Structure formats: structure tokens, C-alpha cells
Copies of this chain bind each other. A is one copy, B any other.
Amino acid sequence: MGEHTVTSFDEELNRIDQLLCEMGDLAGAMTQSATKALISSDNGLAQRVISDDAIMDAKQRELDERAITLIAKRQPMAQDLRAVVGAIRMAGDLERIGDLAKNVAKRVGAVGDSATPRSLAHSIDAMAQLVIVQVKSVIDQYVARQSEGLTSLRDEDEKIDIQYTSVFRELLTYMMEDPRNITACTHLLFCAKNLERIGDHVTNIAENAYYVMTGEQLPVQRPKLDETQMTVSAE
């Protein structure tokens, strides 16, 4: 394989990494704006998040096309192939994060500005800030090809789950206190669940990133925790 071909493969892979970065930045920004829109009942900002989702989809399509073309043209092996396939998967998770942020934004109108108590807004915002840091961190670590931090980053998702469980309980309490809160609170419940799911996609990205870099699975799979589901065992 000539020098030219090798350089060209790396260049194409760099372009794919760059697209991943852009998607990661957009995913973080959409999550940030959607949360802000929700807490401040800013319908204009919510609309911007909703339209940003089309940009995210376009970036994913571009990445997919570049990656597939790269596989077909250069037939990469081992780590190179893992990197290209991994990029497709990570882009899929970033696109889903964009969708989830959009779903939060879509509920801004339904939640309205009357029913959100300050303490609840604070809990949801705290959860969102954890999520946003995670999204940025996982992409930064992938692009720098640093695998060391990925395990702890995945384990950080537990904090988001704990925060979600607390928001879930807080919401139930408001609903029980006053039935007039129920409609707004159910929408907030979906918003909180969407943020929690963004954390799950960060975990997926961390697992893929680790696999791309090492060829191995991230050690010790943490069991997925949504305490609010309270699974009852069969026996």
C-alpha cells in the first residue's frame, strides 16, 4: 500500500472525526438550549432546538456516506475498520441525543410557565448539566484517543440515574399534592426521562470509543439502573 493511499485514508478518517466533533458540539448545545428553554419557558429557543435537529441529521448522513465509501474503497482492516464502523455507531448515538433534546424542546409549550416550582427546575437543570458535561467529555476523549477516562465516564452515568430517580419522585409528589399539576408534571417527567436517556447514549459512545481504541470491550459492565422501574424478579 503506497504512502499516498495511507495518507488519504487518514485524511478521510480525520474528516470523519471532525464531523463527530461537530455532532458532539451540536448535541451538547441542543441539550443545553432545550433545558434552558424548558426552565425559562422560552418557546423561541425551543423552536431553534427543533430546527437544529435537521442540521444534526444532515451531519449524520454526511458521516455515514463518507464512512461507507471509505470502507468500500479502501477495505480497511483491524483498527482502521473498527474506527470507521465505530464512527458510524457513535454518530448514531449523537443523532439520537439530538432527537431527545428536540423532544424536550417540543414539550416546552405543553409544560407552560405556571407549574414548575423552583426546586424542581433546579433538580432538572442539575441533571442536565451532568449530562452536558458527559456528552462533551466522551467526544473529547475519543478524538484525543484517550481510553483511560472512558471507564470512569461510563460509571458517571450512575450519577445521572440517581438524579433522575430523585426528579421522578419529586414530580410524583407534586402530582399527588395538587391534581392541577398533573399535566405539566407528566410532560416534565418525559423531559427528565429524555435527559436520562441522553446519559445512556453517552455510555454507548464510551463503549464504542473504547472498542475502537483497544479492540476490547469496556471492562465490568455496570448493570443499567433505572430505579423507578423497580423490576420484580420472576420468582
Say yes or no: A228 contacts B110, CB within 8 Å.
yes
| A183: interface (CB < 8 Å) | yes
Complex Cα spacing A72 to B76, Å:
7
- Is there contact, CB below 8 Å, between B76 and A75? no
A9 at the interface (CB under 8 A from B): no
A230 interfacial contact with B, CB 8 Å: yes
Q: Which residues of B contact A109 (CB under 8 A)?
A: 229-232
Contact B182 A234 (CB under 8 A): no
Question: Looking across the interface, which residue of chain B has its beta carbon closest to that of A74?
Answer: B72
A71 surroundings in chain B (CB, below 8 A): 68, 71-72
- Interface locus among A11-19, A119-127, A171-179: A171-179
Could you tell me the dominant secondary structure of chain A's interface residues? helix
**For the complex, is A108 an interface residue (Cβ under 8 Å from B)?**
yes
Q: How far is the CA of A30 from the CA of B76 in the complex (A)?
A: 37
Question: Residues of B contacting A229 with CB < 8 Å?
Answer: 103, 106-107, 109-110, 187
Min C-beta distance of A108 to chain B, whole Å: 7
Spell out A's residues near B (CB within 8 Å). 43-44, 46-47, 50, 64, 68, 71-73, 75-77, 81, 85, 88, 92, 103, 106-110, 168, 171-172, 175-176, 179, 182-183, 186-187, 189-190, 193, 226, 228-234
Contacts A/B (CB < 8 Å), 5 sampled: A43-B232, A47-B234, A106-B226, A172-B182, A187-B228
